[in-house]
Structures are given as C-alpha cells and as structure tokens.
Structure 1
Amino acid sequence: MRIVFGLGVAAMALASCSQPKELSVDGAYIRLGAVTGRPAAAYFTVHGGPTPATLISVTTDVAIKAEMHETRAKDGVTSMAPLARVEIPANTDVAFAPGGRHVMLFNMNPGIKPGARAMLTFAFADGTRILGNANVVVAGAPAGTATAK
C-alpha cells in the first residue's frame, strides 16, 4: 500500500510541475528599412495560452505609427493588407515573419541603429498587455538571425 501511495504522490507532484502554457511573445526583432525614412518591420511569435486570445495592436515608442499587416499573393501579384486583429487560438503559435504577417513601423526614430533594442507592447482584446524587447537589425538581415526575449 505504501509503495502505491508513494507513486501516486510522486505522479501528482510531477503533474503539478507542468503549468498550463501562458500567452506569451518571443523571438522579436525589428528589421530597419533599406532606405532612411522608409518603414521598418517587426517580427515575432505569439504563443497562445490556455484560452483563445485576440491581438489588436503592437506599438513601440521608437516609431510614430505601427500597423499589423499581412503579405498576400493573388494571381502572381504580392500585396500587403492591414490587419485590425489577429486571432491567437489556444495553445497555438502564430508567427509574424517575413513574407507573412508583420508589423509595419512608420516614422522610426532616426537614432535607432542596428544593435539597439526597442520595447514592443502587444495589446490583446481582453486588456492583456505584454512587453517584449526586440533587437534592431539591418535591412536584409536573414529572418530570425537576431532575436531577443
């Protein structure tokens, strides 16, 4: 009896160690525009928590304006369309990556240079706010080469 009870307690202790996944953001970086004065773009991954969430904005204090966008291809033509919101299903990762979803950053502070870090604020429809650091990289830097957590 004692052995069975002891194994049960150990199993319960191990189960309590694995907390439910929480809504989070990581891998954020900002790729500067190729030409001074052109928009930069922010990329990152949102990790869904135990319940669905809706990302409604991403902002930073190093740009005057930020807009979520998605690159789309139709009939051989690639275009960008603004996104008012992005659904984040429970326990699912949603990537903002080159060639797909991204955040356009307009009128960047000219003092922001490659190697700097910038704070991003991720706002969700339920009032949740997540702050995350993003490394700043040069235009044309390979995707995911300079990430910050």
Structure 2
Amino acid sequence: MTVTLAIAALALSACGQPAQLYVDKGYVRLPAVKGNPGVAYFTVHGGDTDNRLLSVTAPTVIKTELHESMMSGSMASMAPVKTVPVPAKAKIAFAPGGKHVMLFTINPSVKPGGKMKLIFTFANNLRIEYDAPVIGPGDPAPKA
C-alpha cells in the first residue's frame, strides 16, 4: 500500500512540473554546391510562457538567418523572418518546406558525420546550445 501511495504521489507531482523550453530533433544539411548556404532544421518546444526565438547562431558559420518557405499559387519562395513566436507549450517544427535556418559561409572543417553547435537565443534571455548532427546534401534526414 505504501509503495502504491508513493508511486501515485510521484505521478501527481510530475503533472505539476512546469513545461521546459527546449530544442530537439535538429540536424544540419550541407550544401550541394560548395560556397552555397547550408540549412538547419529542428523542433522548438515552448515552455510555460509565450516566448520568441530571436536567433540561431553557430561558431562555425559566418552568418545565419531565420527563414520561412511559402507557396504563392504554384510558385515557391522563401524570405527571412526577424523572430519566430514560440507559444507556451507549443511545438514549432523547422523542417523542409517551412521554417528553417540558412547557414552562410560554413567553415570547411564541418563535414558529414560530424556535429555543429547551434546556439538558440530567446526573448527571455535564455540561450540553448545544441549539437546538431551534420549530413551531406543527398543524405537522408536523421531518424527522429
């Protein structure tokens, strides 16, 4: 009986835990043509309060930009965005055909099979470092 009560207490206390802002399922795809930009994809999970993703930077990249792809009729285009809202407890996917981070002038030391450190900066002054696997231009995306 005591064990059952302890398990129930643990389960109830876990329900009251605040949601944590975090990043997962990230990876970097290198460009097919040397000198062209690469791209980073990932998922941002919102915390207990609304927030905004201000930037994603990388020490091995000269410049990064938050981007969003969109369709207008049969024409695909993409444009930079200043920030990305991250509502409380939401899941924001940065994925092919949607939101992504453009990586300009990637250091030649970055190779498929390695990792690239991505630094996420949010409006609440939180910074998250994430080591994203690096894949080649024709490689399949890592399994989530």
Output the TM-score relative to the length of structure 1: 0.88
SS of structure 2 residue aligned to 1:104? strand
- Unpaired runs of 5+ residues, structure 2, are none
Counterpart contact for 1:29–1:146, Cα < 8 Å: no
User: Could you say which structure has the larger radius of gyration?
Assistant: 1
Alignment correspondent of 1:36: 34
1:106 is aligned, of 90, 104, 107, to 104
Residue type of the alignment partner of 1:121: I
Match runs of 1:48-127 below 5 Å = 48-127=46-125
RMSD: 2.0
Q: Partners of 2:35 and 2:25 in 1: how far apart?
A: 25
Deviations along 1:29-55, whole A, 9 cap, x unmatched? 000001111100000000011111100
Q: 1:133 to 1:101 in 2, by over 3 A?
A: same
Shift of 1:22: 0.2
SS of structure 2 residue aligned to 1:26? strand
Output the TM-score relative to the length of structure 2: 0.90
- Unpaired runs of 5+ residues, structure 1, are none
Shift of 1:76: 1.0
Residue type of the alignment partner of 1:16: S
Residue type of the alignment partner of 1:52: D
Aligned length: 143
2:18 is aligned, of 8, 17, 20, to 20
Shift of 1:7: 7.7
Q: Partners of 2:8 and 2:109 in 1: how far apart?
A: 54
Deviations along 1:114-149, whole A, 9 cap, x unmatched? 00101100000111101111000011333x4266xx
Shift of 1:62: 1.0
Q: Partners of 1:49 and 1:37 in 2: how far apart?
A: 37
Residue type of the alignment partner of 2:41: Y
